[in-house]
Each structure stands twice: as C-alpha cells, then as structure tokens.
C-alpha cells in the first residue's frame, strides 16, 4: 500500500508510524524496569509512555536535516528523530559513550547527526532556542525547519509568549509542538490555566499572535503526522511559525519509572485515556487500512501479529543497548572539568 511521495517531505506509512511507536514504547518500558530494579541509571528520567504518537507523528514528517529541540521529556522525540539508542542508554547510565559523554543525563540528550539538536531541563527555555535556531537558518537561506516539543506547563512560562511574539514578527520557520498531557507534575491544567473559558486555550493564545495553530488528538498518530506535514509546508513556504497543540496523557509519574503518579486522577479519566492508547489505536488503524481487513489470510500477518513481532525485536534491542551501556567505561575524574570552556582552553 505505497503512498506516493510527491514532495521532498517524508510521508510515513501507517505501519512505519506504528512500528516506531512500538519501538519507543518497548524501549521506555524496558528502561523503566531496569531503572526501578537496578538503581544504576542515576539521572532523573521523564518517560513518554502513552504519549508516543506526538513524537512519532511529528518527526516522521521531518527531513533529516530539520532540527528538533525539546524540553525534559525527550526520549521519544530523540528516538523518533533517529537518535542513536545505544548513545541514549549509555547517557542514562552516565557512561563516556553516552550521547553527551555522560555529562548531560536524560534531560540533556543530543544527536546532531540526525538533527536532534538537544533537550534541556529548564521549562520552556528551548522554545526560545529553537526560535533562534530557525531564525538563524532562515537568515542563512536554508529551507530547514525547526521543531520544539514542550508541555502544557511550559506554555505558562513567559519565554513561551516572548518567543511566539518574536517568531510572529520575524516570520520564523519554527513549529511549536505542545504536548498537552493535562498535568504539570501533579497540578491539573484547570488549576494553572483558564482553559475552560472560550478563547483562552493554548492554541487560541498562539492565534492571538497571528500564528496558525491547530489543536488535535495527540494520540492519533496519523492526524499528528498529517498536521505536521501542513506545518512544515507552511514554514518552508515562508509563512512563519506554526503551533500544534496535541492532547495526550501521561501514564506514569512525572519523573521516574513508577505508575503511581501520586495524583488523585479521576478513574474514568484515566480509563478513557488508557483506552486511547496510541499504540492500540495505531494497530487498529493499520488493520482497518489493510485491503483484506475483513478476512486476513494466512500469508499476511495481522497488525497485532506485526506488533507482537516488533515488540520482541525492540525489547531485545533495548536490552542489548542496556548491556552495552553497562559494559562501557565511565568518564574518568581526570577529565572532570574538560569542556567547560571553548578552545583555546583558558586556565582559571
């Protein structure tokens, strides 16, 4: 079922989108277990389990040289952009072979070879950095677009508003992807934003700056992917920034591997969102899109069978990355201060 690629921008097949979501789900679940059981990954981790459609749908619409800057919850975007898994896992273990040589940890990932520029821990600051990166690239005549992922919490930071204002004035080719997972640590959106009043939502605030903005089901990977393709076309046409607000839900605690979020979330709310699992919905969508959906034959695996096959494959990949990370050397203390300053090094 090939879809013709009529532009330079990639179009992902539903199977490819699903496969990538399964990969991220498996990697993060495996890492969460090792993290909890072994206590060897000494770095605060923010898992995206349940939110995979955002990173996958967006990144599958980007060219390799398009750039991504993210906030703290960054594993999914790193992997979806093509970031090296062994480098990420080694970083979580604090090893010299980590993608940031063990200096950055889970919240400071980078893989420049695939356009994952970096993640950072302070809420909202990468929104401005991504804006500046896109501004600089446009000034240098590049057709690259820059994407930044952040949460609903970061949209409360002043830097979010300052950046959107600047991007609107200078028509910066940047896509702001807000993963609205409804909670900031334990604080519900309703306690932090007047989101229930007309005209006050995150998308509507972006529109107030004259920025094209869409709010959509962030757990529907195909919808996210299509919207991102609209956004990249908009940016590359020189029409300025674009905002995507993706409604989604965090399954685990804010930081750490546990399922107990410590929040008194209404049971129907939790159940409804578990029902809207992006992997499950992607599986159903793939099955429905198959030409012989009504009568699967013995030769063609069903979508569920594909997912089961991928599941085994990716859990194995994750375990191999963990084994490689454990076998890798730690940075040595004699290099503790290396890299604090640029070249030539200035003794101080």
List residues binding other proteins (CB under 8 A): 67, 69, 98-104, 108, 110, 112, 117-118, 120, 122, 125-137, 139-140, 158-159, 162-163, 165-166, 169, 338-343, 346-348
User: Within the chain, where are the H helices?
Assistant: 14-38, 52-59, 75-80, 85-92, 125-139, 158-170, 189-192, 202-208, 221-236, 267-275, 278-289, 303-327
Closest distance between other proteins and the C-beta of residue 176, in Å?
13
Nearer to other proteins by Cβ, of 158 and 198: the residue is 158
Asked if residues 148 and 127 have their Cβ atoms less than 8 Å apart, the reply is yes
DSSP helix/strand/coil, 4? coil
Closest distance between other proteins and the C-beta of residue 32, in Å?
24
Nearer to other proteins by Cβ, of 2 and 158: the residue is 158
- Region label for 345, one of left (φ > 0), alpha (ψ between -120 and 50) or beta (otherwise): beta
Structure tokens at 10: 């990639």
Nearer to other proteins by Cβ, of 56 and 154: the residue is 154
Nearer to other proteins by Cβ, of 102 and 151: the residue is 102
Nearer to other proteins by Cβ, of 170 and 230: the residue is 170
| Other Cβ atoms within 10 Å of 275 Cβ, number | 10
Distance CA 154, CA 156 (A): 5
Closest distance between other proteins and the C-beta of residue 18, in Å?
31
CA distances 234 to 54, 147, 171, 211, 221, Å, are 19, 13, 11, 11, 20
DSSP helix/strand/coil, 239? coil
CA nearest to 250, candidates 238, 236, 242, 261: 261
Nearer to other proteins by Cβ, of 7 and 113: the residue is 113
Asked if residues 72 and 41 have their Cβ atoms less than 8 Å apart, the reply is no
Structure tokens at 50: 């349940």
Closest distance between other proteins and the C-beta of residue 104, in Å?
4
Nearer to other proteins by Cβ, of 144 and 232: the residue is 144
Would you give the end-to-end CA distance of the chain in angstroms? 62
- Within 8 A by CB and 6+ apart from 341, the residues are none
Closest distance between other proteins and the C-beta of residue 302, in Å?
43
Q: What is the DSSP string of 94-105?
A: T-TTSTTTTSS-
Nearer to other proteins by Cβ, of 161 and 192: the residue is 161
Nearer to other proteins by Cβ, of 122 and 323: the residue is 122
* Residue bearing tokens 């804010």: 254
Q: What is the DSSP string of 19-30?
A: HHHHHHHHHHHH
Structure tokens at 33: 């277990």
* Residue bearing tokens 């529109």: 207
């Amino acid at each position: 079922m090939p879809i013709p690629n009529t532009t330079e921008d990639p179009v992902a097949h539903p199977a490819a989108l699903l496969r990538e979501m399964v990969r991220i789900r498996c990697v993060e679940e495996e890492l969460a277990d090792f993290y909890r059981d072994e206590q060897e990954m000494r770095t605060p981790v923010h898992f995206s389990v349940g939110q995979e459609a955002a990173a996958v749908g967006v990144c599958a619409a980007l060219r390799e040289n398009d750039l991504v800057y993210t906030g703290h919850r960054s594993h999914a975007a790193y992997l979806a952009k093509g970031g090296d898994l062994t480098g990420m896992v080694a970083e979580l273990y604090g090893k010299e072979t980590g993608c940031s040589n063990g200096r950055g940890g889970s919240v400071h990932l980078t893989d420049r070879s695939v356009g994952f520029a970096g993640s950072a821990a302070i809420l909202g600051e990468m929104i401005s950095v991504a804006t500046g990166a896109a501004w600089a690239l446009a000034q240098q005549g590049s057709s690259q677009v820059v994407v930044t992922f952040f949460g609903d919490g970061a949209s409360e930071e002043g830097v979010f508003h300052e950046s959107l204002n600047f991007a609107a004035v200078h028509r910066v080719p940047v896509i702001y992807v807000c993963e609205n997972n409804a909670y900031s640590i334990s604080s519900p959106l309703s306690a932090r934003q007047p989101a229930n009043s007309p005209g006050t939502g995150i998308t509507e605030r972006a529109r107030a700056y004259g920025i094209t903005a869409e709010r959509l089901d962030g757990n529907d990977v195909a919808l996210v992917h299509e919207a991102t393709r609209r956004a990249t076309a908009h940016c590359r046409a020189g029409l300025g920034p674009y905002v995507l607000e993706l409604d989604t839900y965090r399954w685990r605690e804010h930081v750490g591997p546990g399922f107990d979020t410590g929040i008194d979330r209404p049971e129907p709310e939790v159940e409804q969102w578990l029902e809207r699992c992006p992997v499950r919905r992607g599986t159903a969508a793939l099955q429905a899109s198959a030409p012989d959906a009504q009568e699967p034959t013995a030769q063609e695996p069903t979508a569920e069978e594909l997912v089961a096959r991928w599941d085994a494959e990716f859990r194995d990949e994750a375990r191999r990355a963990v084994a490689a990370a454990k076998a890798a050397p730690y940075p040595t203390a004699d290099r503790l201060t290396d890299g604090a300053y640029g070249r030539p090094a200035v003794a101080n």
